[in-house]
Chain A
Amino acid sequence: MKITLTIIFNALCCISAAAQEINVPYEQFTLPNGLNVILHKDNTIPRATVNVWYHVGSGSEKPKRTGFAHLFEHILFEGSQHVPEGKFDEWLEAAGANNNGSTTEDRTNYYEDIPSNALDLALFLESDRMGFLLPSLNAGTVDGQRDVVKNERRQSYENRPYGKANLELPALLYPQDHPYSWPVIGSMEDLSAASYQDVVDFFTTYYAPGNASLCIAGDIDLVETRKAIEKWFSDVPAGKPVPKVDPPTPSLATEKRQVMEDNVQLPRLMMVWLTPPAYHPGSAELDLISSLLTRGKNSRLYKRLVYELQIAQSVSSFSDNKKFASEFYIIATARQGVTLSQLEKAIQEEIDKLKNENPEKRELDRIINQFESGFISQLESSGNKADQLNQYYYYTGNPDYFNEDFQRYRAVNGNDISSATRQYLKDDARVVMSIVPTGKTELAAQK
């Protein structure tokens, strides 16, 4: 007989409207081999997410081996000692599960979205590749994924309009020896040079349980899940302590202006600043500044460039928040017949205005209200919650940092915004990149 679970969609997280508290209850423990574990129960639907963060990304790579952390992410799907090549995906799919992984400068994550009856399978697979990857590995696996990653680079950057600019920005923003000074995807040359021995060394150095965090969120029994984790990860050997990366805080000494030609119709301007690390003072202000500038029709840059002047086809901004430094981007695509100098002038005027005048309370409240909805709606998805619990744990040490995170934004006032704009969005410390249609360098932003 099939077990039938009648779903009654009832409240599973605590949101007290009056106090504006957003909490995600969790259990946390550490295995003897050093693996950190976070559990959160949410039985909205009969599914769960198994989410593993390894605290290694392209920021731990050596020069001449750029793109390695990401190449390695691919290799982790190619089987392990007790999982023949191809079976990782086949077995999960045969259980109705989806899986994927991603790599940033700071970390590599992997997840399986599973029907809740497939928890043992997911734990078997994750523990096997954490503990027993090397016996199954061979040079052919590395070669195969090297080709796939090169095609990922082609698809995501080279064959995409404006894509090549993202490959050049890291070197313009960071000093040569800084671990953020190369793109996560790496260079074609370095990808070709990666050897089997590099893979072995990387795994041995970074893929130890003590450098990882396992979060399971969804339709789980907390006691049974804990037992299953103890079982599947009990034979995963503890690794050696992981070498610490601790680069000096980077800063730009000047404004760097760069012009790039690309096979595009409309020119695009990218302005990029180096800003404080994720969750550090100034970081919340910059997230809010980004929203003030480009979120919604009344945001300052959208309203000015797209709505009123109609000189831009689109404008966006965001903070790429990372462990050792963050980046603040403004990206605007010009309408036909408009030069990037025109765009830059209007953008600069809006930045200056934000530097000189505190935004009105209503303008800031509008953004905070949107942030609040964002915080609440992400609680609907176990996959989101699992990744967020792991993210908060990595960057702040507290998995349930939801409420603290939201309070960071609520605490910002208009004066903080102006002063952060002055402090971080400086005219003489940034990269200004013009991407223009091939042969039309006259459209670039001129100083």
Chain B
Amino acid sequence: MKKLIYILLCVALFSSGVALAQKPDRTTPPALSKAKNLQLPPIQRFSLSNGLPVILMEKHTVPLVQINLLIQTGSFDDPAGKEGLSNFAMDLLDEGAGAFSSLQLADEIEFLGANISTYSGSFASGINCAASSAKIEATLKLMTDIALNPTFAENEIERIRKNRLNGLLQNYDEPNIISRRAFDRLLYDKSTPYGRFPNEASIKTYSKDDLTAFHKTHFVTGNSTLIIVGDVTQQSITPVLEKYFGSFPKGQATTAVKPVPQQVKGRQIYIVDKPGAAQSVIRIGRIGVPRNAPDQDNIEVMNTILGGSFASRLNTNLRETHGYSYGAGSAFSFWKIPGPFIASSSVQTDVTGPALGEFFVEFKKIRQPLPDADLTRGKNYEALGYAGNFETSRDIASALVDLVLYQLPDNYFNTYVEKILAVNKKGVEAAAKKYIVPENMLIVIVGDKAKIEAGVQKLNLGKITYLTIEDILGKKPEL
């Protein structure tokens, strides 16, 4: 009853207020006031007595702490024949550690209301932990068990192995996974780690010794960093870190030499047959540049205009103008080595040819002189949207992981906006000409060959090679 009266009262007040309210001018969009600058709290760096580096950013908005242990290794370090090993090993870390079995460990973590998860990507692996600041010590105790004393029990290894093999089988159903695997394989080739992925044979080789060796090699101070964001201070957290991570083994980083990938020559077209598919998954691309390339800012703005946002040219063309797709876009992956540039979309089967043609229309167009409005939008979208990456402790921690991984300067985040706003037309146009080369592109289409073949041929883009799903994923595993 009280609430109802309150609302009625407001209405009364506002009826009189509105008479004074300025009528909106809808003839032009309202001008923006000055954007506030992003100025993050200081990045605090220190080391534990064993030399383990720590990066801390305080954030006291909610009583939570994010603690990420970054281990600088990933699938690109997996030896040939053991593809997927780092991922498998990281997954097994929390399947029993210290005095706890897999189930006990999970129970303890969840009872604290905490979350501890492990991951492994291409270059980086790690243990990510989110906890209430009141329970930080109990949570860290469990985290260090996982980091330092994993059991790697045989029964857990076999259980997860079975899960992996069934997962392989499920990949045959997933057009996006097939497309990604095919693209990586054809772009980078099996001879490099970037073109290989876990397979039945490799999954069947992982042994307890492999896991123990992985752990011993990579979990050393010279290869690891603790990243902490949240409701703690250096003073409050240091003794706790010393207690639990003080015994983290000293050691030097081992960096495997990474082969330099070979650029795509000419136009190579592959159709991977998936009979009955309602859409075709298209991926088009070539090898791009590594992180920290001198023209990375120009590339980012250029890609935003081409396919990096909703209003980008690729999405406007394929989705809004032609209605071929629910969405289309493009991205550069800035890795330690040159990662791929990929433009992609899922398009309806019967317009696969025309949709593919429109990608090339946009590739040619992005190489033409750039209108001012596009440049402004591209720059502003990148620069003014940047603060959104720093809202939660988890967001900030993953930004700090990048800082370590790619050796970025500590003022990187606070100067990023200014840097992007300084990008000019000449630089963006040059990036388009240099990196979007329509004559040298790998094209992979996963779709219903019988229905899409003629449309793709009609474009005369080049020679088409036909593949089966098994050509990419291998024979279906026998379980």
Q: Closest A residue to B376 by CB, please name it.
A: A94
* Complexed CA–CA distance, A146 and B311 (Å): 19
Pick from A93, A99, A148, A303: contact of B326, CB under 8 Å: A148
Contact B348 A150 (CB under 8 A): yes
Contact A337 B34 (CB under 8 A): no
**A95-B384, A96-B383 known; A369 and B24 CB under 8 Å?**
no
Contacting residues, chain B, for A333 (C-beta < 8 A): 170
Which A1-57 residues have a C-beta within 8 angstroms of B? 2-13, 15, 17, 28-32, 42, 44-47
Contacting residues, chain B, for A370 (C-beta < 8 A): 110, 113
Check: B247 CB closer than 8 A to any chain A CB: no
Interface window among A121-129, A249-257, A341-349, A416-424: A121-129
Check: B360 CB closer than 8 A to any chain A CB: no
Contacting residues, chain A, for B102 (C-beta < 8 A): 297, 307
Which B135-190 residues have a C-beta within 8 angstroms of A? 159, 162-163, 166-167, 169-170, 172-175
* Complexed CA–CA distance, A297 and B163 (Å): 14
Contacting residues, chain B, for A296 (C-beta < 8 A): 106-107, 110
Contact B37 A5 (CB under 8 A): yes
Q: Closest B residue to A87 by CB, please name it.
A: B29
Check: B17 CB closer than 8 A to any chain A CB: yes
Nearest chain B CB to A394's CB is how many angstroms away?
15
Nearest chain A CB to B384's CB is how many angstroms away?
2
Check: B449 CB closer than 8 A to any chain A CB: no
Pick from A7, A151, A227: contact of B323, CB under 8 Å: A151
Pick from B63, B110, B169: contact of A298, CB under 8 Å: B110
Check: A382 CB closer than 8 A to any chain B CB: yes
* Complexed CA–CA distance, A117 and B325 (Å): 33
Nearest chain B CB to A221's CB is how many angstroms away?
12
Contacting residues, chain A, for B41 (C-beta < 8 A): 7-9
Contact A89 B18 (CB under 8 A): no
* Complexed CA–CA distance, A335 and B33 (Å): 58
**A86-B311, A159-B277 known; A380 and B173 CB under 8 Å?**
no
Contact B130 A44 (CB under 8 A): no
Pick from A45, A81, A117: contact of B390, CB under 8 Å: A45
Tell me which of A98, A147, A367 has the highest count of chain B C-beta atoms within 10 A of its own C-beta: A147
Contact A94 B381 (CB under 8 A): yes
* Complexed CA–CA distance, A117 and B36 (Å): 7
**A95-B380, A380-B64 known; A115 and B387 CB under 8 Å?**
yes
Q: Closest B residue to A147 by CB, please name it.
A: B323
Contact B381 A154 (CB under 8 A): no
* Complexed CA–CA distance, A409 and B391 (Å): 28
* Complexed CA–CA distance, A396 and B282 (Å): 45
Q: Closest A residue to B162 by CB, please name it.
A: A310
Contacting residues, chain A, for B392 (C-beta < 8 A): 377, 380-381
* Complexed CA–CA distance, A151 and B276 (Å): 15
Contact B110 A369 (CB under 8 A): yes
Contacting residues, chain B, for A116 (C-beta < 8 A): 36
Contact A93 B309 (CB under 8 A): yes
Chain B interface size band reads: 35 or more
Chain B window 103-125, contacts with chain A (Cβ cutoff 8 Å), 1 for yes, 0 for no: 10011001111110000000000
- Give the interface SS of chain A, mostly helix, strand, loop or mixed: mixed
* Complexed CA–CA distance, A438 and B403 (Å): 49
Which B44-87 residues have a C-beta within 8 angstroms of A? 58-64
Contacting residues, chain A, for B310 (C-beta < 8 A): 89, 93, 99
Contact A117 B388 (CB under 8 A): no
Contact A30 B14 (CB under 8 A): yes
Nearest chain A CB to B48's CB is how many angstroms away?
24
Contacting residues, chain A, for B460 (C-beta < 8 A): none
Contact B37 A17 (CB under 8 A): no
Contacting residues, chain A, for B62 (C-beta < 8 A): 11, 13, 15, 376-377, 379-380
Contact B175 A144 (CB under 8 A): no
Nearest chain B CB to A147's CB is how many angstroms away?
3
Contact B277 A44 (CB under 8 A): no
Contacting residues, chain B, for A234 (C-beta < 8 A): 18, 21, 23-24
- Give the interface SS of chain B, mostly helix, strand, loop or mixed: mixed
Check: B451 CB closer than 8 A to any chain A CB: no
Contacting residues, chain A, for B309 (C-beta < 8 A): 89, 93
Contact A264 B173 (CB under 8 A): yes
* Complexed CA–CA distance, A158 and B448 (Å): 14
Q: Closest A residue to B389 by CB, please name it.
A: A45
**A124-B24, A369-B111 known; A115 and B35 CB under 8 Å?**
yes
Contacting residues, chain A, for B479 (C-beta < 8 A): 335-337
Contact A12 B61 (CB under 8 A): yes
Contacting residues, chain B, for A99 (C-beta < 8 A): 310
Contact B163 A313 (CB under 8 A): yes
Check: A442 CB closer than 8 A to any chain B CB: no
Pick from B34, B112, B316: contact of A3, CB under 8 Å: B34
Check: A90 CB closer than 8 A to any chain B CB: yes
Nearest chain A CB to B176's CB is how many angstroms away?
9
Contacting residues, chain A, for B386 (C-beta < 8 A): 96
Nearest chain A CB to B24's CB is how many angstroms away?
5
* Complexed CA–CA distance, A343 and B206 (Å): 29
* Complexed CA–CA distance, A113 and B385 (Å): 9
Contact B36 A152 (CB under 8 A): no
Contact B60 A94 (CB under 8 A): no
Which A380-421 residues have a C-beta within 8 angstroms of B? 380-382, 397
Contact B103 A266 (CB under 8 A): no
Contacting residues, chain B, for A376 (C-beta < 8 A): 62-64, 132
Contact A265 B172 (CB under 8 A): yes
Check: A166 CB closer than 8 A to any chain B CB: no
Contact A382 B35 (CB under 8 A): no
Contact A98 B37 (CB under 8 A): no
Pick from A82, A151, A161: contact of B174, CB under 8 Å: A161
Contact A96 B384 (CB under 8 A): yes
Which B1-49 residues have a C-beta within 8 angstroms of A? 3, 7, 10-11, 14-15, 17-18, 21-24, 26-27, 29-41
Which B272-324 residues have a C-beta within 8 angstroms of A? 276-279, 309-311, 316, 319-320, 323-324
* Complexed CA–CA distance, A367 and B324 (Å): 45
Contact A128 B64 (CB under 8 A): no
Check: B346 CB closer than 8 A to any chain A CB: yes
Pick from A8, A146, A303, A373: contact of B114, CB under 8 Å: A373
Check: A118 CB closer than 8 A to any chain B CB: yes
Check: B134 CB closer than 8 A to any chain A CB: yes
Contacting residues, chain A, for B342 (C-beta < 8 A): none
Pick from A4, A94, A98, A365: contact of B111, CB under 8 Å: A365
Pick from B38, B60, B278: contact of A11, CB under 8 Å: B60
**A4-B39, A150-B348 known; A265 and B58 CB under 8 Å?**
no
Check: B393 CB closer than 8 A to any chain A CB: yes
* Complexed CA–CA distance, A442 and B383 (Å): 57
Contact A46 B64 (CB under 8 A): no
Q: Closest A residue to B108 by CB, please name it.
A: A366
* A positions within 8 Å CB-CB of B: 2-13, 15, 17, 28-32, 42, 44-47, 81-83, 86-87, 89-91, 93-99, 113, 115-118, 120-121, 124-125, 127-128, 132, 143-144, 146-148, 150-152, 154-156, 158-159, 161, 219, 227, 230-232, 234-235, 263-266, 296-298, 303, 306-307, 310, 313, 333, 335-337, 362, 365-367, 369-370, 372-373, 376-377, 379-382, 397
Known pairs A2-B35, A44-B391, A151-B346; list 4 more (Cβ under 8 Å).
A9-B58, A96-B35, A147-B323, A151-B319
Please name the 5 residue pairs, one residue from A and one from B, whose CB atoms are nearest each other, closest first.
A96-B384, A147-B323, A369-B113, A161-B173, A46-B36
* B positions within 8 Å CB-CB of A: 3, 7, 10-11, 14-15, 17-18, 21-24, 26-27, 29-41, 58-64, 102-103, 106-107, 110-115, 130, 132, 134, 159, 162-163, 166-167, 169-170, 172-175, 276-279, 309-311, 316, 319-320, 323-326, 346-348, 373, 376-377, 380-381, 383-388, 390-393, 476, 479
Could you list some 24 contacts between A and B, CB below 8 A? A7-B40, A11-B62, A46-B38, A82-B27, A89-B311, A91-B29, A94-B377, A96-B385, A118-B384, A120-B30, A120-B31, A151-B325, A154-B279, A158-B278, A219-B36, A230-B14, A231-B21, A265-B172, A306-B163, A310-B159, A370-B110, A379-B61, A380-B62, A380-B64
